[in-house]
């Protein structure tokens, strides 16, 4: 980094101090378990919107997916379309209001608890809690690795210390302040992210000569698409990949659908709907949430693609070549090369804020799932604040250990995997559960299990991007994947989610009436 | 070619991203005071 490390360190310390003060205010406001678990069901609309957005957008969304846009072009803007259309509008209007109302009525405090009360089935709470406790540490570890890899060169702290400090500092305010502290600090961190990304867009457009000139220059670079990418269907940075090509499948199924739909059933986001006092709060939150997401992913993808123009004009290289072939370092390199020193500092804080806001939400969701939904279900201790604090610490330690065991290259992959699994396992049963008059327990159970199992099977045996590093298929069958192209590029969500949905709808039609007759007889 | 982008699918993507954002703002403004009934449904 070009900026003096001492300046960076001082600003990082000021940022952490402010975060801790806000966390302390959250701690002081936390009087009972309901405060700790669902922020007293009385959060401000701006806090809900910024907390939802900042939790949703992690460092990998900015650095990882921004780098992907530099490599694959502006086709990623379709992910922003889904992020806003599905992740905000559909999520808040269709699911948010029902979730809030049902959560209040049934006094649900976690996502698995909501599923249990919707379907009157403790088994569903155990299964949902189990899926969260097993899969969320993977996503958490990816966020920890991303944060530590960023802190290491920026503040000059070695990787191991960076990772432990990052894990512990974030855990402190989550453990003591619960969801109020998490959401307050999210709002502060979301504000920093909004400022950082707005400035980034403005300075990038100046660096490439404006919107039209920059995009025209990028269009004229189509002939420079590397042969390896052109052979796989890439046509340029301002055009979609060739329909049905391997890159088209990667962009549309993994990046756009996988992440765009996956957001709908993420436990740590669903619980934010239950923190709203009334529908008015959610209506107002939508007004803030939409523009916030546009300024996060929309800006990251646009800047990522346009960075090719800057690098080509200044170094004669494409962004990916300038970054030495590492997609994850394109955005940081662009910031360091093209932006003034002051902005490098602002962007450093933006990334730290993005990582901490997601990490804090995951700690809270995992810890409460462990205590409320698995270990303590049905017991008095499940609602004890001390028990939840203990649960968060356990999950924080497990995630940190996992972060040391996983390879660095897992960051973007683990993010997409977690979101895909959540959608396949939870989305159909969650959607039917909040809308059906008599949701069938059997349907939810089979949908959840089939979604998770098919997702895992496709991940381990068919989707090359995961099957190869996992090595399960290789060990059992002696080959990387069971099928050849194009199936190796089709994301698990495209297969597992429709299956989970069909199972849910078919069994709901068969058993829903039976269940309603039983309920009437009782 | 509009704004230097030749592919209508990319332009449509940007149009929808901005359109959905405006829809969020309009929805929020139109429903600013609706649904303020505390815990009720």
Question: Is residue A222 packed enough to be buried (19+ CB in 10 Å), middle (13-18) or exposed (0-12)?
Answer: middle
CA distance A103 to chain B (A): 10
Contact flag B6-A219 (C-beta cutoff 8 Å): yes
Q: What is the pLDDT of residues A56-78, one digit of tens each?
A: 888 878 888 888 899 999 999 99
Run of H or E including A237: none
Residues A27 and A37: their CA atoms lie apart, in Å, by 12
Alpha helices in A265-384 (DSSP H): 267-273, 279-293, 299-315, 319-322, 330-338, 341-368
* Surface of A (36-65) touching B: CB under 8 A: 41
Smallest CA-to-CA distance from A385 within A394, A373, A372 is with A372
A221 in contact with B, Cβ within 8 Å: no
Residue of B15, B30, B35, B36 for testing the chain A interface, max A β-carbons within 10 Å:
B35
Residue-wise pLDDT for A397-448, tens only, equals: 999 999 998 876 667 778 778 888 999 999 999 999 999 888 999 999 999 9
pLDDT greater than 50 at residue B39: no
Say if CB A338 and CB A203 are below 8 A apart.
yes
Chain B residues closer than 8 Å to A284 by CB: 28, 32
Q: Is A209 on the interface with B (CB under 8 A)?
A: no
What span, in angstroms and rounded, lies between the C-alpha atoms of A84 and B2? 23
List, for residues A289-321, the tens digit of each pLDDT value: 999 999 999 999 999 999 999 999 999 999 999
* Domain locations in chain A as residue ranges: 5-435, 436-522
For A286, the closest of B10, B24, B33 (CB atoms) is B24
C-alpha distances in Å from residue A382, one per residue of A57, A126, A408, A485: 30, 13, 36, 48
Residues 288-347 of A with CB under 8 A from B: 288-291, 293-294, 298
Query: Which residues contact residue A194 at a Cβ distance below 8 angstroms, ignoring those fewer than 6 apart?
Result: A292, A295
To the nearest whole angstrom, how far is the Cα of A248 from the nearest Cα of chain B?
13
**Nearest residue of B to residue A86, measured between CA atoms:** B20
The CATH class of A5-435 is mainly alpha
Q: Cβ A290–B7 below 8 Å, yes or no?
A: no
Q: Within an 8 Å CB–CB cutoff, is residue B15 touching chain A?
A: no
In angstroms, the separation between the Cα of residue B24 and the nearest Cα of chain A is 5
The distance of A148 to chain B (nearest Cα, Å) reads: 32
Q: pLDDT of A371-400, one tens digit each?
A: 988 887 766 656 788 888 999 999 999 999
* DSSP-based three-state secondary structure for A121: coil
Beta strands, E only, A103-225: none
pLDDT at A19 over 90: yes
Contacts of A409 (CB under 8 A, 6+ apart): none
Residue range A340-344: mean pLDDT, rounded: 85
Question: CB–CB of A215 and B31 under 8 A?
Answer: no
- The CB density around residue A459, as the number of other CB atoms within 10 Å, is 24
* B23 CB within 8 Å of a chain A CB: yes
Predicted complex ipTM: 0.92
Q: Given this model, what pLDDT does residue A316 score?
A: 93
Q: Regarding predicted confidence, which is higher, A84 or A414?
A: A84
First to last CA, chain B: 49
């Amino acid at each position: 980094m070009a900026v003096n490390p001492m300046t960076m360190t001082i600003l990082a310390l000021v940022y952490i101090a402010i975060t801790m003060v806000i966390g302390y205010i959250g701690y002081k406001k936390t009087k009972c378990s309901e405060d700790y678990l669902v922020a007293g069901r009385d959060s401000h609309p701006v806090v809900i919107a910024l907390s939802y957005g900042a939790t949703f957008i992690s460092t990998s969304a900015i650095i990882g997916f921004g780098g992907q846009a530099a490599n694959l072009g502006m086709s990623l803007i379709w992910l922003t379309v889904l992020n806003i259309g599905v992740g905000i509008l559909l999520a808040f209007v269709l699911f948010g209001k029902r979730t809030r109302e049902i959560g209040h009525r049934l006094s649900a405090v976690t996502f698995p608890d909501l599923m249990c009360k919707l379907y009157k089935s403790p088994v569903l709470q155990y299964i949902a809690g189990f899926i969260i406790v097993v899969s969320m540490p993977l996503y958490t570890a990816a966020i920890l690795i991303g944060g530590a890899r960023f802190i290491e060169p920026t503040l000059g702290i070695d990787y191991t210390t960076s990772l432990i400090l990052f894990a512990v500092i974030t855990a402190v305010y989550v453990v003591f302040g619960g969801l109020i502290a998490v959401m307050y600090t999210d709002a502060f961190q979301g504000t920093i992210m909004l400022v950082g990304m707005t400035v980034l867009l403005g300075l990038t457009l100046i660096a490439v000569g404006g919107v039209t000139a920059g995009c025209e220059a990028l269009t004229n670079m189509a002939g420079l698409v590397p042969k390896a990418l052109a052979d796989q269907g890439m046509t340029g940075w301002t055009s979609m990949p060739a329909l049905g090509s391997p890159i088209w499948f990667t962009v549309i199924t993994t990046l756009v659908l996988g992440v765009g739909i996956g957001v709908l059933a993420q436990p740590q986001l669903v619980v934010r709907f239950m923190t709203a006092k009334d529908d008015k709060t959610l209506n107002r939150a939508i007004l803030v949430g939409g523009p916030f997401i546009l300024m996060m992913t929309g800006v990251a993808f646009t800047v990522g693609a346009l960075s090719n123009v800057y690098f080509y004009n200044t170094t004669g290289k494409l962004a990916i070549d300038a970054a030495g072939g590492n997609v994850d370092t394109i955005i940081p390199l662009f910031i360091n090369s093209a932006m003034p020193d002051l902005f490098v500092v602002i962007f450093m804080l933006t990334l730290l804020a993005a990582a901490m806001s997601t990490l804090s939400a995951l700690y809270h969701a995992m810890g409460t799932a462990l205590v409320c939904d698995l270990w303590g279900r049905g017991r008095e201790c499940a609602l004890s604040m001390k028990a939840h604090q203990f649960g968060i610490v356990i999950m924080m330690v497990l995630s940190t250990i996992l972060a040391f065991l996983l390879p660095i290259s897992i960051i973007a992959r683990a993010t997409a995997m977690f979101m895909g699994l959540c959608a396949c396992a939870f989305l159909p049963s969650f959607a039917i559960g909040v809308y059906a008059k008599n949701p069938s327990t059997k349907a939810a159970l089979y949908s959840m299990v089939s979604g998770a199992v098919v997702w895992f099977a496709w991940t381990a045996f068919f989707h090359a991007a995961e099957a190869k590093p996992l090595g399960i298929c290789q060990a059992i069958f002696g080959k990387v994947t069971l099928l050849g192209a194009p199936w190796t590029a089709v994301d698990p969500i495209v297969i597992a989610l429709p299956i989970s949905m069909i199972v849910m709808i078919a069994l709901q039609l068969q058993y829903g009436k039976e269940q309603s007759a039983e309920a009437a007889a009782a | 070619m509009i704004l230097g982008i030749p592919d209508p699918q990319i332009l449509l993507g940007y149009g929808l991203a901005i359109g959905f954002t405006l829809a969020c703002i309009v929805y929020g403004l139109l429903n600013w005071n609706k649904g303020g009934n505390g815990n009720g449904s």
